[in-house]
Amino acid sequence: MTLEILYFAWLRERIGLPRETVTTQAATVHDLIVELRARDERYALAFFDLSAIRVALDQELADFDADLANVREVAFFPPMTGG
Amino acid sequence: MEIRVQEAPFDFGAECARFAQDREGIGAVVTFCGIVRNDGGEMQAMEIEHYPGMTERALRQIAEDASHRWTLADVLILHRYGRMQPGETIMMVATASAHRADAFAAADFLMDYLKSRAPFWKKEISADSAAWVAAKDTDEAALERWG
C-alpha cells in the first residue's frame, strides 16, 4: 500500500518535510506511527507524545486506531489553533 | 453559504455591508472579526499555516452543522493564512437570520468549532524567536456546551 503522508506546523519542522510518499503494510494509524518512529531520531522525537498529535485520513479527523484500508492521504499535525 | 480561505487581507466593513444587503426576510446579521492581537509585546508578526483541501472541507462542514441547528438564511466564513502584522484581520464569520437569537448562537458555535476543528496553526514571530501557539484546554471544553 502506498500512502501520501503530510506533516504540518511543528511536526513538519521537526521531521523536516511537508510531505512524503510511503510504502507500508501498516493496518492502522498506530502501526504506521510505530514504523515512522523506528526510522530515525527526527521521527522518534516528532511522534514521542501522541497526546500532542492529531491525525486526518483523507482530510477527515480520525483516531489512532483507525484502519488504513483504502486510505490515500494521512496527515499528522498538532491540535488546531484557528480563529 | 460562502467559505473563503485566502492569503490576501480583506475589508471587514465592506464584507459586512455586502453580506447584509438586499436580503428578504432577514431581521438579523451577526458578525465576528478576529484580529492579530497587539499586546505591546515582542510579537512582530503572526504566521498561519493551513491544510489546503481539508481546510475548506472542515469549514464547510462546520457551516452546514450550524445551518442544521439553527434557522439561518446565510453563513459566511472567511479565514486568512500566511503572514500578518499585529492589528490585521485574521478571519471573520457572519450569520444572517430572521431573528437575532439564531444569528448570535450560530456565530458563537461557528467560532467555537473553527478554533479547534479547522486545520489552521498559528505561529508567533518575534525579533529573535518564533513559537507555535499551543491549543488551550478551554478551546476543547468550549465544544462540550453544544452537546
Domains of chain B: 2-137 (3.90.1170.40)
Residue of A nearest to B49 (CA): A9
Residue B109: is its pLDDT beyond 80? yes
How many Å is the maximal CA-CA distance in chain A? Answer: 37
- 3-state DSSP assignment of residue B121: strand
Question: A81 to chain B, minimum CA–CA distance in Å?
Answer: 5
Give me the pLDDT at residue B40, please.
73
Give me the pLDDT at residue A25, please.
95
Of A54, A58, A56, nearest to A72 (Cα)?
A58
The grid coordinates listed for B39 are: 499586546
Signed CA dihedral, B146, B29, B111, A13: sign only: positive
What percentage of chain B reaches a pLDDT higher than 70? 100
> Which residue is it, cell 498561519?
B48
Instruction: Looking at the structure, give the CATH architecture of the domain made up of residues A2-77.
Output: Roll (3.10)
> Of the candidates A10, A59, A78, which has its C-beta nearest B54's C-beta?
A59
Taking CA atoms, B140 is separated from A81, B122, B132, in Å, by 11, 17, 18
Q: What residues in chain A have their Cβ under 8 A from chain B's Cβ atoms?
A: 6, 8-10, 12, 56, 59-61, 75, 77-83
Residue B139: is its pLDDT beyond 90? no
Domain boundaries of chain A, sorted by first residue = 2-77
Taking CA atoms, A13 is separated from A75, B65, B109, in Å, by 14, 33, 32
Per-residue DSSP letters for B26-73?
--EEEEEEEE----SSSEEEEEEEE-TTHHHHHHHHHHHHHHHHS--S
pLDDT digits (tens, 9 = 90+) for B17-39: 999 998 999 999 999 999 999 77
pLDDT digits (tens, 9 = 90+) for B36-84: 997 777 889 999 999 999 999 999 999 999 999 999 999 999 999 999 9
CA end-to-end distance (rounded Å), chain B: 24
Rounded to two decimals, the pTM is 0.95
Taking CA atoms, A24 is separated from A21, A31, A71, in Å, by 10, 10, 12
Is residue B99 very low, low, confident or very high in pLDDT (cuts 50, 70, 90)? very high
Q: Is the ipTM of this complex over 0.90?
A: yes
CA distance B15 to B6: 14
Interface of B with A in 72-131 (CB under 8 A): 79, 90-91, 111, 114-123
Q: What phi and psi values does residue A3 have, to the nearest 5 degrees? A: -120, 145
> Of the candidates A56, A81, A83, which has its C-beta nearest B54's C-beta?
A56
DSSP character at residue A28: B
User: Are B133 and A6 within 8 A, CB to CB?
Assistant: no
> Which residue is it, cell 467560532?
B111
Segment A44-72 shows an average pLDDT of 97
Residue of B nearest to A13 (CA): B132
In the sheet where B89-97 sits, what is the strand order? B2-6, B74-80, B89-97, B28-35
Give me the pLDDT at residue B35, please.
96
CA distance B59 to B44: 28
Residue of A nearest to B61 (CA): A60
Query: How many residues are present in chain B?
Result: 147
Give me the pLDDT at residue A20, please.
98
